[in-house]
Amino acid sequence: MRVKVPERGIIESDIRTRAGVQQDRYARCGKMHKQQDALRGGHALQDVRCGKIHNSTDTYDKGIDNMNELLGREIAGLLFDADGTLLDTHDLILSSMRYTINEGCNENYSDAELMRGVGTPLPDQMLAFANGDAKKADELVITYRAHNDAIHDAGIRAFPDTRAALERFRTRGFTMGVVTSKRHELAKRGLELSGIAEFFDVLIAPDDWPEHKPAPGPILRECELLGLDPHACLYIGDSPYDIQAGNRAGCLTVAALWGMFPAAALEAESPALTCTNLSQLADLLEQKTR
């Protein structure tokens, strides 16, 4: 099953190049952006990369304090993070982190330290563990991905109430999409294997767009492709980076307390709402539309 994309001339291509070549492509599109990550081969959405680059300092006035904002705002779209929000991948990620960093580098990081950067692109996380050594970080990325790819399909699953909640959202007519820090192909595969790919019209990953969470760019691009005003969208995520990105994009943000990060870390980023499971959000939205 494929994740659907809107019929807007999006061309699937086999273009995932390193940063210097990507900058040349942005220049041809008239949109220069310096990308720090070194991205490797696979699938990308070509025209996703040729749109407007949104500066992370270009923020909207959030103007959200509590449930009253949800009740008073017309909501048309629901945008989701993937890992830790739709998909229960905590054990998969932690296993690959332990293998790559603690076992592979003879380190002794705690689980919390290993998972601290989850929600940002993997190359950024590995660069931190490599103390800024780009070559070492590249090697860590290769090791991590080889391990994670080997265990991914057997361990990937949606949270127990994910599909039922998505059915309820679809019944209410919400447009839905995914903005993730996982590679496009692996994220798409995870959604397919978990049986929920059919609910989403657009998937944007770090190899589809030059900005990454916590910058708002990938969320704003998703809204652009879906034809949605960010102010008419919820962005639901389980990491502080999700809440930061969603707030900067002007979305109402929902902290997914069932995910990988503690409630205090999410609440510190001032989400509009916190929910203990996706079904609770479905309940709130159904109350709103009654």
End-to-end CA gap in the chain:
33
Nearest to 83 by CA among 146, 192, 157, 2: 157
What is the Cα 129 distance to its own chain's centre? 21
Catalytic residue list contains 207: no
* Catalytic-role residue among 37, 61, 81, 161: 81
Integer CA distances (angstroms), 2 to 73, 193, 221, in order: 32, 11, 20
Instruction: At 73, give phi and psi (nearest 5°).
Output: -105, 135
DSSP tag of 244: H
Instruction: At 102, give phi and psi (nearest 5°).
Output: -75, -50
Three-class secondary structure assignment of 72-117? HCCCCEEEECCECCCECCHHHHHHHHHHHHHHCCCCCCCHHHHHCC
Please return the burial class of 42, using the count of CB atoms within 10 Å of its CB with bins 0-12, 13-18 and 19+: middle
DSSP tag of 161: T
Cα-trace Rg, the chain? 18
Give the active site residues.
81
